[in-house]
A and B are shown apart, each in its own frame.
Chain A
């Protein structure tokens, strides 16, 4: 049996969900016999593969960069999983939504900056007015709330998906925890 191709992606989030993923510890070894991590902040490949079976998305959609990434990922993914509150609810990143982008940049790069008090003009992707959860941008197949979802939860979700079932996450997840 060929291995299930799994990708993980990190949009506007704190990487906590990826940490939780790594918290699966020894179970990762067992998982590795069934899945290939084909794209992830945790592995080397720089380009998203042609078709992936499961992509776990951490983080909300905040910038042009997030947006382009998620469109591409959706196009090349069979089952898209919103992993964690930022992806599911936009969570902490969306706390800036009540302010304008200018106010946010000013706060970060001018008021609170020690040196070079100026918002960046290059490299840093353009921020959207509003941070949005992933499912407001593309279709999402599985929702896994939690901040972060526990290693057990992630393990359950992956095992179910590997087995070809869509996991019911309601009983084992909760927003915020």
Chain B
């Protein structure tokens, strides 16, 4: 259904009366009205995933927390986007992520431009209270222009989605289960030997951390440019 024929519903976000299209997510409605909800796996222009759990919000009349990115608005809904409980969970999500990989901000190409790093500050994390796992992970620098450093990957799957949905190459995918899950190129072969990769670099620029970067970048130098993404999606929708 195109937005032209969509119904408008009214709901409450943090006590504020707002209106939204019935097909909008809570996240979209909140952002439109200046209410900030933290996200990591979500990215404008890509399909929603609901994996990082940062955008969980409370709903009146339900003990369950719902992901704002994948939950549609509905008439009369009362959403609470921040509370002590939610804040604690959000902080724990980030702590778990920091403990899971090997995130050494000081020597990272994305230092200062990293979404995970800034999210830590946003959610008020001053240290990681769970033990660090220090996994042994690999770096693949076989591609002539890009590198993937699995130590910094948080499995947001933005690379997988952008490659499949926008570039149409589907070079990236995920293999393995649990913390052993990792993003792979083609059939888990070195990126440089991938037949499907078009070297477009979209994956690099949607990556929230320094996991995917351009080889020319040194510490703090990897700036990610994503303005192309919502634009591409919008243009395609208009053509359709």
Contact = CB atoms under 8 A, between A and B. Distances in A.
- A–B interface present (Cβ within 8 A): yes
Interface of A: 82, 85, 88-92, 94-95, 97-98, 130, 132-133, 135-136, 140, 143-145, 147, 169-171, 173-177
Contacts of A174: 105, 117-118, 120-121
B111 A176 contact: yes
B106 A147 contact: yes
B117 A176 contact: yes
Given A175-B117, A176-B111, A133 B106 contact: no
11 contacts: A98-B134, A133-B132, A144-B126, A147-B105, A169-B126, A170-B121, A173-B126, A175-B106, A175-B120, A176-B111, A176-B117
Contacts of B106: 85, 91-92, 147, 175-177
Interface string B3-38: 000000000000000000000000000000000000
- Number of contact residues on B: which range applies? 20 to 34
B128 A89 contact: yes
Interface string B104-135: 11111001101001101100111111011011
B98 interface: yes
Contacts of B111: 176-177
Contacts of A133: 127-128, 132
A176 B126 contact: no
Contacts, number: 79
Nearest to B108: A176
A114 B129 CA distance: 41
Interface string B68-110: 0000000000000000000000000000001000111111100
Contacts of B126: 88, 143-145, 169-170, 173
A97 B111 CA distance: 21
Contact of B127 (A97, A130, A132, A135): A135
Contacts of B177: none
Nearest to B134: A97
Contacts of A130: 134
Nearest to B136: A98
Which 5 residue pairs are nearest across A and B when measured between Cβ atoms? A176-B105, A147-B106, A143-B126, A97-B134, A175-B105
Interface of B: 98, 102-108, 111-112, 114, 117-118, 120-121, 124-129, 131-132, 134-137
Pick from B106, B108, B111, B129 the residue with the most CB of A within 10 Å.
Answer: B106
A135 B95 CA distance: 14
Contacts of A97: 134
A135 B134 CA distance: 16
A98 B135 contact: yes
A132 B127 CA distance: 13
B140 to A, nearest CB: 16
A170 B124 CA distance: 6
Contacts of A95: 102, 104, 107
Contacts of B107: 92, 95
B237 to A, nearest CB: 37
A176 B125 CA distance: 13
A136 to B, nearest CB: 6
A174 B136 CA distance: 25
A177 B114 CA distance: 12
B134 A145 contact: no
Contacts of B105: 85, 89, 91, 147, 174-177
A92 B3 CA distance: 50
B134 A94 contact: yes
B102 A90 contact: no
Nearest to A82: B127
A94 B106 CA distance: 12
